[in-house]
Amino acid sequence: HDLEQYKGKWQELFPGKKLCLEIGCGKGRFTIGMAELFPEKAFIGIETQHDIAYYPGKAAKDKEMDNVKIICANAEALNEWFEPGEIKELYLNFSDPWPKARHAKRRLTHRGFLAKYAQLLGPGGHMRFKTDNRALFDFSVEEFKEFGCEIIALSYDLHNSEYDNPVQTEYEQKFSALGTPINFCEVVFK
């Protein structure tokens, strides 16, 4: 992908639509589901694995959706593809927990990534994070606080909370069916 060509020009692809980004969209249930529910927004899904990214790409094409784009790439280069403030909402759903301490910097909620997101979203940008992994969740909440994000929603059991959860991911349905509580947090970047 030559994604740099879109930097600052995403509105040309999605005129008048608020840009939302899911990092690690997997087979796309969330990205596609949200795009169907919110046609006034555009949803960009990033997935590193080609064989997985194929599914949401095909679903968007089959449904002739004009508010979805699937990118098969590594999120490390995010800031080369988007102008600061170009994305308005960011979603991290069931990201790889990288459980070993020495791999902490690989976690998508590590402050190194938060710095990228802060630039991507600009002040007032929202990020929503869901995981079944309590250790990752606790690490992430601490990172959000240390980074200076404002935590506006937090639950250790999303499905039994007051918070809106319009679309469940594949993993979310699987873990929920097993009785595993889903941790959820929404933050605003300053």
How many C-beta atoms surround the C-beta of residue 83 within 10 A?
16
Dist CA 177 CA 179 (whole Å): 5
Would you please indicate which residues are annotated as catalytic (active-site) residues? 96
Question: Maximum Cα–Cα distance for the chain, whole Å?
Answer: 44
List the one residue out of 63, 15, 59 whose CA is nearest residue 41. Answer: 15
DSSP secondary structure letter of residue 17: P
How many C-beta atoms surround the C-beta of residue 180 within 10 A?
15
Retrieve residue 91's tokens.
């979603």
